[in-house]
Amino acid sequence: MLGNPREEIIHQAEALGVNVIMMGSGDKVRGDRFPLGVTAQNIIRGAATPVWIVRRGASQRMKNILCPVDFSDHSRRALVNAADLSRMFGAKLQVLTVAEKLPRVYRGMPLYVGRGNQRADWEERCRKELEKFLRDIDLEGIMWNKEIRSGEPHGEVLKAAAEMRADLVVMGSLGRTGLTRILMGSVAEKVARELPCSLVMMKAQDMVEQKRSSKAKARKAGRKFETLEKMPR
């Protein structure tokens, strides 16, 4: 097939109605802005279909899946699909949200409390929004936990992936700005550049066909999870 690789791959994916575009990774060379190459970078940016980058030497067994979320629609889709992948592979799922220590937009808001209370109030907002975000996600039947970290977003995602020995990171390629500024496109791209393990970049489509039961919300009351919070004060 002749033509522009990016355009042809995306066109074929759309024509065939595939659920995911899978690509192998190359080796990261010192100084590379994007170790996967220009074509992979452009496909990640341009495809509506989820893109799964398989890191060279990746294990065929999937034990640990990391899903960073920022409460956006794209990260919601990423988490729903990450949960389904966890069921399929019998893998443990870690849900991670990274909050900046005290975002500028928050620091500029008129508050009638001291800086210490301001930080505590910001952290509490992050916790409440994470609980709200998880409320409608069906996590029944899988081992999972949630973690809140404070710091620089893409750096904390990479640390978490290394610490849990993640086999796969599933994340949204677009996110929100403002008080929950976590996984904007630039952050997702930075994680992809480092490629700590195989990576699924979720887009406008689901990777796993979704069949949600009407009892999903009722089941949430029976979920069991472990809370890990790493927010230095």
CATH of the domain at 25: 3.40.50.12370
Half-sphere exposure of 175 (CA within 13 A, CB side): 27
State whether the Cα torsion 155-161-167-169 is positive or negative: negative
77 close to 51: Cβ distance less than 8 angstroms: no
Which two tokens mark 114?
A: 């001291």
- pLDDT, residue 94, reads 97
Mean pLDDT by 10 residues, the chain (233 residues): 80 90 72 62 82 83 93 90 95 91 50 58 85 93 93 91 95 57 60 86 76 45 50 50
> Which one-letter amino acid corresponds to residue 19?
N
- pLDDT, residue 45, reads 79
Torsion of CA 146, 151, 157, 160, to 10 degrees: -60
- pLDDT, residue 98, reads 87
Average predicted confidence (pLDDT) for the chain: 77
- pLDDT, residue 95, reads 97
CA-based R_g, the chain, Å: 18
- pLDDT, residue 27, reads 62
The reported pTM is 0.77
Which two tokens mark 172?
A: 């949204």
- pLDDT, residue 150, reads 85
Among residues 225, 161, 222, 229, the alpha carbon closest in space to that of 192 is found at 161
- pLDDT, residue 137, reads 94
Give pLDDT tens digits for 45-89: 788 888 998 887 787 789 999 999 988 888 899 999 999 999 999
d(C-alpha 72, C-alpha 76), whole Å: 6
Query: Domain span at residue 202?
Result: 5-209+217-230
- pLDDT, residue 153, reads 87
- pLDDT, residue 32, reads 53
Number of domains present in the structure of the chain: 1
